[in-house]
Structure 1
Amino acid sequence: MRAALNSLAVAAPDWLAKRLKKDWFDRYGRRVENYRLPKLDSERETLGNQMGEDGFSLLERIYALNAPEWLRYLPAVEILRQVWIQQFYAPVEGKVKLRSPKDMPPSTIAIHSPYDVEAHYSSKRSVNWVGYKAHVTEICDEDAPHFITHVHTTLSTVTDEAVVEPIHFSLGEKSLLPEEHLMDLGYVTAGHLVSAQENYGIELIGPVRNDPTWQAKHHPKFANSNFQIDWENQVAICPRGHQSKTWSEKTDRKGQRVISIKFSPSNCDTCPSRSRCTRAKTEPRGLTIHRKQEYIALHHRREIQHTPEFLKTYNQRAGIEGTISQGVRRSALRQSRYIGLAKTHLQHIFMAAALNLCRLNDWLNGIPLAPTRYSRFMSLKPKTR
């Protein structure tokens, strides 16, 4: 509301002066950083509803037949219209009410700032923020400076796994594709294990998620991995030796092609292991698995990702956490100085260039990488082999 009023005060001051309400000066005249919300929830709700009424009142005046049509096309006015639709129910007899959380749009489309509509709310573990994400790629060879080779900036709601392909494409454009790419668990999927190798010749090194099914947690013998898959004949064989009845490809909710397998009711209904195999009351056991190459790659990774050899290689990825820390401390990585995704990405590029210059200077002057810092207490922990 405040952003729209300020915009109208510049674009149409005379028009606004004749139609504003005097109490708007009290609610929207102060700078945002000087504004204090009421402490009681009931008072906040009352204030929120009042602001909703103010916004709809302003929009009603802007969209009136006798109002200049161009007013409704001001960016701040259009943002106000969208935000009010997202945050409030339509007025009923002049009364406005805030939407309940379940009726609000998801963060992917919700506007959280009238000054930067691309900045969305997101959360990761214990961190919550409104803004963007930065994905950093660097060299980790022992005999070379650990230069940052690529920075990929996305909206905060874009998942980590969605950026793997764009990152590899960009590295390929710069002739900087690695033979091995170490990535965190959030980036690595069955599809990426296959596509990275096929499309770019990259071995993706990183853990994959464990089987999330309840069978894998409570009755491992009946987990998907213990069903034999006959790819040639398109048949699955359960741990009790029964063959599947149907085999078909479909698209899952993420848009990925998967294989849906169903067993025969005649086998499942009388099976003594039914309660450990399926929780369906009447339906037989079903499986949803990846296609052949992805299935094999996924299960192979799950088998080796806890081995000492794999962990030794993957532990090199810890260096990127130091890079993130360096970016935060030296270059305010978590504070965007600009508005919009494109300019924020430019800031990240400047940050990477600056850190690379620092690293080149350290390399030329023989300054070694700083070791991982531990608390005095953790330094007493016995080392494991």
Structure 2
Amino acid sequence: MSVQPQPWPDPDPEIAAAIRGMYSGRREVPLAVRFRDRFGELFADDQFAVAFGQRGKPGWSPGRLALVTVLQKAENLTDRQAAEAVRTSLTWKYALGLDLKDPGFDHSVLSEFRSRVVTHGLEEKVLDLLLAELVRQGLLETGGKQRTDSTHVISAVRDLSQLDLAGEAVRAALEALVCAAPHWVEQVIDVPSWSRRYGDRIPGWHTPASQAKRARLALALDFGRDGFALLTAVHASTSPAWLRELPAVQVLRCVLVQSYTRTLSGSGREVVKRREAKVDGLPPGHRRLTSPYDTDARRSVKGDTMWNGFKIHISETCQAPEPAAVGNNAGPGQGGHSRVPRPNLVTNVTTTDATVPDNAMLDPIHQVLQRRRLLPGDHYLDSGYASAELIVGSLKRFGVALVIPMLDDQSRQGRAKEGFATHDFRIDWPGRQAVCPAGQTSTTWSPCLQAGVAKTVVTFSTRDCGPCPLRPKCTTSKLGRRQLALQPQEMHEALQGARAQQETKEWKHNYALRAGVEGTIHQATAVTGIRRARYHGLRKTHLDHVYSAVALNLIRLDAWWNGHPLDRTRTSHLTRLELSLAA
């Protein structure tokens, strides 16, 4: 498929006249029409041209396909429904510059477009273009306040037990081998017997409770022996070398390694056993495959939520409602004045596998925001992103102050909320010593590494701690003395300062602004369905999240342009009437 970048055609005059007639007076024009009128050719073809060839059959405009994908997310449509909307919806034809008789395209074009965008690393292009235009229009700027939170994303594959995973891995490899080399397969396996076991998807094992454990073990060993036999045949010297490079064969190898052990008995016979975590060990969670059909999905737990898939981090601007707004803050048709504040807009979405902790993603998020010149001055986050290193590093590297609740002191005294925790000791950094609440001075100051992290271990003398009347509140150590493990001075002081500050009413009132990101996650889930991946693989799932973010921004901008106040939950009809009159 080839693409020659072309300017978008102007909206068809006949369609434009029909829309003006249908949406005259106080009727609000649809989002697609509003987008074309406000942004014009925002997603130009040349922004996506690198993903398409210069020769071959001419393809559909990639810029307009990008807009179709955004509108598809805004209305939560399937590919078939989106392609049908291009053919039949006047508002979509207006936005795309099509005439009434334009037949549109086959729905499979959207899938090919997404594949090409992912292959050439253009997943975030549409969000970059929209945010750059909003910066130009004065709706976004560096500094200010932003908030970020994460939520789980369930993969688009069936959740498999370890038993089902082994069987499906063998089945997937067989399917790939039969497609690639059917004659080779019929020579190395008994096709009828293997077909009875692997012809259909592994349905799960349902046996009476009295027989379940023994039956599952027998079936698991059968899957393991079959898998190893298949890999042995693939790696035989007489087999084509390219067979072992098939992705499904590589997945089978990984699943067998993480699920089974293979040893030789005293008689030289090969013995296949299920891998036991306590005896044989298991791969770390971020490397453990959960499906042969989506090798990026991972299983994770957060609180009482268990899922298999991914995680999305959403960042958006935020500000407290203003009593009045002037100039750029005013919505259209308000005479330059409006009580509707600027909309909170999504500035970044990051997608990871489910095992990546939240605090590991804060620096990458700041790096992307820095590239877009949208770094906030204050960044509101929950405790999942909290660490002393991030508080100091974000301010030093990016100039971003984190508004974040720090976890309590994890020492025994800190967890129990009684006795003397680390913050009760006075640290003399220049003198390299600490003073306890009883006035005793530490005797040793020992820099070291604990789990790869720089710490300083401060120890008090047994002669001082032994007879101290405050000892029961300070330590129960069998050595009869207190020890402290201190972070480097800058981080220690930042941590203690943050813990003290978050106890004040002013900080709690200010931090309440973070709660609004929960509403954004709910809107993204309700409108675009981000909690369930539509596609296989991390990169395509991230592509879906980026287009969802653009769709959310356009929905919010459309509401702002029309003068709609920010929605509030649990409000009466009378309160809503009051809000509409105030706007």
**What TM-score, normalized by structure 2, do the two folds share?**
0.61
Q: Per the alignment, in what secondary structure is the counterpart of residue 272 of structure 2?
A: coil
Matched, 1:353 2:550: yes
Contact between 2:382 and 2:405, CA under 8 Å: does it hold in 1?
yes
Give matches, 1:356-367, under 5 Å.
356-367=553-564
Structure 2: how far apart are the matches of 1:81 and 1:165?
35
Match of 1:139 in 2: 317
Q: Structure 1 residues 276, 81: CA separation in 2 closer, same or farther (over 3 Å shift)?
A: same
Aligned to 2:117: none
Give distance in 1, aligned partners of 2:484 and 2:353: 34
Structure 1 residue 320 displacement after superposition: 0.7
Higher normalized contact order (CA 8 Å, seq sep 6+, divided by chain length): 2
- SS for the counterpart of 1:322 is helix
Q: Measured at CA, do residues 276 and 46 of structure 1 come closer, stay the same or move farther in structure 2, by a change above 3 Å? A: farther
Q: Distance in 2 between matches of 1:342 and 1:258?
A: 38
Alpha-carbon offset, residue 283 of structure 1: 6.8
Task: Tell me if structure 1 keeps the 8 A contact 2:171–2:201.
Answer: no
Counterpart secondary structure, 1:137: strand
1:95 positional shift? 4.1
Alpha-carbon deviations, 1:289-324, whole Å to 9, x = none?
222221112112111213221111111111111111
Most deviating of 184-193 and 298-307? 298-307
Q: Is the 8 A contact 1:53 1:95 kept in 2?
A: no
- Distance (Å, rounded) in 1 between the aligned partners of 2:178 and 2:263: 26
The alignment status of 1:223 with 2:401, answered yes or no, reads no
Q: Distance in 2 between matches of 1:20 and 1:209?
A: 58
Amino acid of the residue matched to residue 504 of structure 2?
T
Does the aligned pair in 2 maintain the 1:3–1:76 contact within 8 Å? Answer: yes
The correspondence for 2:406, drawn from 168, 185, 208, is 208
Q: Distance in 2 between matches of 1:267 and 1:69?
A: 73
1:288 counterpart = 2:485: yes
Counterpart of 1:259, as a letter, is T
Q: Quickly say closer, same or farther: Cα 1:123–1:374, change in 2 above 3 A.
A: farther
Match of 1:37 among 191, 200, 205: 205
Partner of residue 12, structure 1: 181
Letter in 2 for 1:74: L
Q: Which residue of 2 aligns with 1:380?
A: none
| Larger deviation, residues 47-56 vs 22-31 | 22-31
Gaps of 5+ in 2: 1-169, 322-340, 573-583
The alpha carbon displacement at 1:133 in A equals 1.0
Asked whether the equivalents of residues 189 and 208 of structure 1 are also in contact (C-alpha less than 8 Å), the reply is: yes
Letter in 1 for 2:446: S
SS at match of 2:438: coil
How has the CA–CA distance of structure 1 residues 275 and 68 changed in structure 2, closer, same or farther, with 3 Å as cutoff? farther
**What is the CA distance between 1:139 and its match in structure 2?**
0.9
Shift of 1:45: 2.5
Secondary structure of 1:186 counterpart: helix
Q: Distance in 2 between matches of 1:23 and 1:91?
A: 26
What SS does the corresponding residue of 1:113 show, helix, strand or coil?
coil
Superposition RMSD in Å = 2.1
Secondary structure at 1:129 match in 2: strand
Counterpart mapping for 1:221-370 below 5 A = 221-253=419-451, 255-282=452-479, 284-370=481-567
* Offset of residue 204 of structure 1: 0.7
Q: How many residue pairs align between the two structures?
A: 372
- Report which stretch shifted further, 6-15 or 349-358: 6-15
| AA of the residue aligned to 1:90 | R
Distance in structure 1 (CA, Å) of the matches to 2:429 and 2:298: 43
More deviation in 108-117 or 219-228? Answer: 219-228
The amino acid that maps onto 1:167 is I
Question: 2-side partners of 1:354 and 1:329: how far apart?
Answer: 12
State which of 268, 288, 301 in structure 2 corresponds to 1:110.
Answer: 288
Distance in 2 separating the partners of 1:115 and 1:19? 24
| Aligned pairs (5 A) from 1:83-162 | 83-92=255-264, 93-102=269-278, 103-141=281-319, 142=321, 143-162=341-360
**TM superposition shift of 1:276:** 3.8
Task: Give the residue type in structure 1 aligned to 2:428.
Answer: D
8 Å contact 2:434–2:441 — kept in the other structure?
A: yes
Deviations for 1:349-385, whole angstroms, at most 9, x for unmatched residues?
101000001000111112222213499xxxxxxxxxx
- Distance in 1, matches of 2:449 and 2:562, equals 55
Contact 1:107 1:120 in 2 (8 A): yes
Cα deviation, residue 233, structure 1? 0.8
Q: What secondary structure does 2:299 align onto? A: strand
How far the C-alpha of 1:146 sits from its partner, in A, is 0.8
1:175 aligned residue: 373
The CA deviation string for residues 313-350 of structure 1, in whole angstroms up to 9 with x for no partner, is: 11111111111111111111111222222222111110
Q: What is the alpha-carbon distance in structure 1 between the residues aligned to residue 359 and residue 349 of structure 2? A: 15
What one-letter code is carried by the residue in structure 2 that aligns with 1:232? P
CA contact 1:49–1:98 (8 Å) conserved in 2: yes
Aligned residues with identical type, % of pairs: 40
Distance 1:19 1:206 in 2: 60
Aligned with residue 59 of structure 1, among 231, 250, 253: 231
Other-structure match for 1:383:
none
Asked if 2 retains the 8 angstrom alpha-carbon contact of 1:38 and 1:44, the reply is no
CA–CA separation in structure 1 for the residues paired with 2:460 and 2:355: 38
Indicate if the aligned counterparts of 1:53 and 1:94 stay in contact, CA closer than 8 A. no
- For 1:109, the aligned partner's letter is R
Deviation at 1:219, TM superposition (A): 6.4
SS at match of 1:339: coil
Instruction: After TM superposition, give the deviation of residue 37 of structure 1 in Å.
Output: 1.9
Give secondary structure in 2 for the equivalent of 1:83.
helix
Counterpart CA distance in 2 for 1:339 and 1:195 is 35
Q: TM-score, normalised by structure 1?
A: 0.90
Distance in 1 between residues matched to 2:177 and 2:480, nearest whole Å? 62
CA–CA distance in structure 1, aligned partners of residues 225 and 419 of structure 2: 60
Contact 1:219/1:276, CA 8 A, preserved across alignment:
no
- Closer/same/farther in 2, CA of residues 73 and 284 from structure 1, 3 Å limit: farther
